[in-house]
Structure 1
Amino acid sequence: MQDLTISLVQCELVWEAPADNRQHLGELIADTAGRSDLVVLPEMFTTGFSMNALGNAEEPGGATEQWLLAQARQWDCAVTGSIAVREDDAVYNRMLFATPEGVSHYDKRHLFRMAGEHKRYAAGQDRVVVPWRGWRINLQVCYDLRFPVFSRNRQDYDLMLFVANWPAARRLHWRALLPARAIENLACVVGVNRIGQDARGLDYSGDSMVIDAQGQVLSDLQNKNGTVSVVLSGADLMAYREQFPCHLDADDFQLR
């Protein structure tokens, strides 16, 4: 299993301004050029966590999806983050995973009712694991972090990604749950959050992190603006799983 270099992009987002956000994020992605296999952007990176679902939603294959695909092809890497997408008369908080070959997606399953997300967006149903450069990657969005049954490793992924707009008021939860998901699933975990303040006055502390399967924090952006790149060791992950195979004693159940 080869190593995988991951770049985290943590920044402020301009409220409901997709073109401005794409331009700024494009500059940050360019900073990772030539040293990354996978670039991770925050949740709703074109608009911020807006409940104006219909007003912000793009069509499948729209401007942002094409922009992600162009970034992936330009820098020969995968690029991922979520946006609002309208399909079949519903709007989804959709995590797009673009590679030079095409775009996969995951629709957020757990919608944040405390902000009314469940009234404005449709919940996804499918769990999505995508293959990329020898790694199996589980795609998750923000509030999904609180639901460990849904993210339970069925020995079908090596890395779990969480993209988020997670408010600073609950940063303790974010910083506790990310390592917990890594430890219990014998998998590496990456969480990417935004910083700054949104149009509703909510503050975001960032705290984007890369965590190995033992729960060790390999990188922590805290409240910094910018990017960081981290190499995940495939050999270390495989060795740890062989030395500590607690998954062999896991309870046998599945989410319906």
Structure 2
Amino acid sequence: MACGYSTTQILNGERQQSNVFGSSAMHQAPSKPLLETLQIGWERQEKRLWWNLNLQVWPGERVAVRGPSGCGKTQLLRTIARLDPLCSGELRLQGQRADRWPSPAWRAAVLYVAQQTPLVEGSVETNLLWPLRFRVQRRHLANLQNLPDWLQQLGRDSTFLKQQAHHLSGGERQLLALLRALLLEPCVLLLDEPTASLDPESSTALEKLLRSWMQEREVACLFTSHDSAQVERLANRCVHLTR
């Protein structure tokens, strides 16, 4: 069965759609893309999710990955993060092929945040600090100074840091996961249903924090969401996967 995709550019509230079947997404930009997928494909046991998929993701972009259930949205994010192997094609980050990047360095720069992020025993603070123990992440220790402001934007205070992680609700776990991702300051942030367990007010606060964080940095974000209103608010481009 043929697999394809299309892109929808969202500019000033107006959509310009271009059907793509193995062609690069069109984007006007003054610099090179942060991330490129070149003819990538994924299949297992004769089940093909997507094939010949070409994308260019530019600094400042918030790209929504959309499509019917089972089309491979989560699999695409995991593959871009190099958590699962490609079946065909090539990934590039900042113009360099993925095989030129050590896996830990790639996964630090292209950070995947799952809908249900695993946590370690201990407090929220323990979980936020945990990845900063690794050499590839130690340079981000200074970002801890941003935590009070981020917490305030999310409607939380310092007492949130002392809560035990295993007592958190599903929504609070998602807030923790986003805060940890922002501390690690990746070039490309991959968010899988980042607000699925949050109430509308908290979802809006998370979106605003993500926007402000990105505006201060040369970074990009790809995310999945079943919330069409959220996609309208947050995305400036959509990639539609088909089966």
Normalised-by-shorter TM-score class: 0.3 to 0.5
- Give the TM-score, by structure 2 length: 0.34
- Give the TM-score, by structure 1 length: 0.33
Give 1 or 2 for the bigger CA radius of gyration: 2
Structure (1/2) with the larger helix percentage: 2
The one of the two structures with greater contact order (alpha-carbon pairs below 8 A, sep at least 6) is 2
